[in-house]
């Protein structure tokens, strides 16, 4: 036995097996629990029954009743009386600083738009993404507490049909996240010093200290401004367990943390405290060099203690401490001298075991880069009239050109043979390979045209000149 439901147009839209409640197969009472789909359109629906024998032969459909489905009546308030409405505002989860904004999902039983405000404007703000979508996001405070509370109020002021709803408040916390320090560590600690790096997901430098100062020392703690984080130099003093502490103070998003690193030092020839043992400095000569990149300083001591560098010509050169260690660099703006003498002193003041070392000085010259001028056209000029001559200025050391052919320096160009040729103008010319100087030359008569190209130099680059000749022919 089956029941069928037909639409107002007469087509079967649903069937359901019938359940026998009492009696026999041929003489019984059948029923079902049938709920109409609320999506069905209003209209008259037919209910049919169809019986089958044991050989599945059908009795055919038989109409046993109809159902009139009507629309829900529109909500019409009593004149002068507004309807009430309620707000549902799910709880907001606690969040860790640095994450994405939190979606606000309050709803009103009236289906009117929810309005959001915050009573903690220094902690969080409401973001309107449009189309009825709202978020709440934290604000970075000048002094960020480890935990702060954000409170959001959902309200609905009502309209011509509904009264205003009772506002609903939800509060949650923003807290700093846990921090984790990772290390890039040496295989062992030596008397000459080795680097160790501490890294955390922050631009705040780490504090690196030794808790075993009689065994090992920490020097030159330096934030590298790279993914390597904070670097320090470790030096062995005597045999034993070297214990290093890395401390992160925390920042606006992360809690502070610390870790301990250990290294067992062995094989060190121990120097007695108070022995005032002599030490010497080895500091290789520094070759003269053109203005440009600095040079790393690699002096060492027999004690393994750290070197201190000082420029004795501070108007010419200075000591820097980049990621890879101390370096000497020319002072900018440069002196303008073609050759400027720089003197660097390496010293070591000693400690409770070693006497101060005798300082060692190294002198070298910063010199302006050697330059050259190249003309890129044929040395044959045919016919009277105007002709172009392009010239490039480049380093003599082509490895410094970085793929360019010309650096774009302005040139003065004159004719040494004014009866044969004259220079009308010289202007910059942007070409493949760089900026060239393009001269317009007027050919006046047959003969040798001699042009003088001059670069006056700059604070880093030496002046240079070129005498170039071309033969003019074909002038009648």
pLDDT in tens, 117-131: 999 999 999 999 999
CATH placement of domain 87-175: 2.60.40.1080
Burial grade of 285 (CB within 10 A; 0-12, 13-18, 19 or more): exposed
- The DSSP secondary-structure symbol of 270 reads P
State which CATH number among 2.40.50, 1.20.1730, 1.10.3470, 2.60.40 fits the domain covering 281-367. Answer: 2.60.40
pLDDT of residue 74 exceeding 80, the answer is: no
The hierarchical CATH code for the domain 185-265 is 2.60.40
**pLDDT recorded at residue 336:** 78
List the strands of the sheet with 317-320, edge to edge. 295-296, 327-330, 317-320
User: Which pLDDT belongs to residue 53?
Assistant: 65
Fold equal for 87-175 and 371-473: yes
- pLDDT of 17 over the 80 cut: no
The distance from CA 461 to its chain's CA centroid, rounded to whole angstroms, is 36
pTM for the whole structure: 0.61
72 pLDDT higher than 60: no
Report in angstroms the alpha-carbon separations of 95 from 128, 137, 148, 253, 292: 20, 10, 10, 12, 50
Tell me if residue 248 falls in helix, strand or coil: strand
CA distance 260 to 263: 10
User: Which pLDDT score is estimated for 41?
Assistant: 74
CA–CA separation, 50 and 1 (whole Å): 6
pLDDT value of residue 441:
97
Contact 349, 308 (CB under 8 A): yes
Whether 21 shows a pLDDT value over 80: the answer reads: no
DSSP secondary structure code for residue 399 in this structure: G
For range 307-330, the mean pLDDT: 91
**Measured distance CA(247)–CA(250) in Å, rounded:** 9
Q: Give the pLDDT score at 28.
A: 58
Sign of CA dihedral 358, 359, 360, 361: negative
The topology (CATH level 3) of 371-473 is Immunoglobulin-like (2.60.40)
| pLDDT, mean of residues 154-169 | 96
Mean pLDDT of 148-170: 96
Q: Is 86 left (phi over 0), alpha (psi -120 to 50) or beta?
A: beta
CB 106 within 8 A of CB 116: yes
Q: Indicate if the pLDDT at residue 357 is higher than 90.
A: yes
Task: Indicate the domain borders of the chain.
Answer: 2-69, 87-175, 185-265, 281-367, 371-473
Kindly state the average pLDDT of the residues 214-229. 93
369 pLDDT tier (thresholds 50, 70, 90): very high
Residue 193 above 70 pLDDT?
Answer: yes
* Residue 325: band (very low, low, confident or very high) from pLDDT cuts 50, 70, 90: confident
CA distance to 22, 32, 118, 285, per residue, from 121 (Å)? 70, 59, 6, 63
């Amino acid at each position: 036995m089956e029941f069928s439901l037909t639409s107002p147009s007469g087509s079967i839209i649903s069937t359901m097996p019938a359940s026998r409640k009492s009696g026999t197969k041929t003489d019984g009472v059948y029923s079902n629990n049938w709920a109409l789909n609320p999506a069905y359109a209003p209209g008259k629906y037919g209910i049919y029954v169809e019986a089958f024998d044991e050989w599945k032969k059908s009795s055919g459909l038989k109409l046993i009743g109809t159902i009139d489905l009507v629309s829900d009546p529109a909500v019409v308030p009593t004149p002068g009386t507004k309807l009430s409405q309620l707000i549902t505002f799910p709880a907001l989860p606690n969040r860790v600083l640095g994450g994405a904004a939190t979606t606000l999902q309050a709803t009103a039983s009236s289906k009117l738009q929810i309005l959001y405000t915050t009573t903690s404007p220094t902690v969080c703000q409401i973001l309107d993404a449009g189309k009825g979508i709202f978020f709440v996001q934290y604000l970075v405070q000048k002094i960020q507490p480890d935990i702060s509370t954000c409170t959001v109020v959902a309200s609905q002021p009502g309209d011509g049909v509904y009264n205003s709803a009772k506002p609903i408040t939800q509060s949650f916390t923003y807290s700093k996240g846990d921090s984790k320090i990772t290390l890039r560590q040496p295989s062992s600690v030596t008397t000459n010093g080795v680097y160790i790096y501490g890294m955390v997901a922050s631009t705040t430098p780490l504090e690196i200290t030794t808790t075993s100062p009689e065994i090992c020392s920490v020097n030159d703690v330096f934030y590298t401004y790279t993914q390597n984080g904070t670097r320090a130099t470790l030096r062995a003093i005597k045999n034993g367990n070297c214990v290093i502490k890395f401390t992160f103070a925390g920042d606006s998003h992360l809690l502070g943390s610390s870790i301990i690193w250990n290294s067992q030092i062995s094989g060190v020839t121990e120097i007695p405290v108070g022995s005032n043992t002599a030490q010497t400095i080895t500091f290789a000569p520094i070759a003269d060099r053109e203005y440009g990149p600095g040079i790393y300083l690699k002096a060492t001591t027999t004690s393994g203690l750290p070197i201190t560098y000082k420029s004795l010509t501070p108007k010419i050169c200075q000591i820097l401490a980049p990621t890879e260690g101390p370096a000497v660099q020319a002072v900018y703006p440069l002196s303008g001298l073609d050759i400027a003498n720089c003197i660097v002193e390496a010293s070591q003041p000693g400690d409770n075991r070693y006497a101060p070392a005798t300082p060692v000085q190294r002198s070298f010259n910063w010199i302006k880069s050697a330059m050259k001028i190249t003309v890129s056209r044929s040395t044959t000029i045919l016919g009277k009239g105007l002709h172009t001559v392009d010239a490039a200025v480049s380093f003599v050391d082509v490895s410094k050109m970085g793929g360019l052919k010309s650096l774009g320096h302005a040139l003065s160009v004159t004719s040494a043979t004014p009866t044969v040729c004259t220079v009308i103008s010289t202007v910059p010319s942007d070409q493949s390979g760089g900026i060239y100087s393009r001269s317009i030359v007027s050919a006046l008569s047959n003969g040798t045209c001699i042009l003088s190209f001059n670069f006056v130099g700059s604070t880093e680059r030496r002046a240079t000149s070129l005498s170039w000749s071309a033969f003019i022919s074909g002038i009648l």
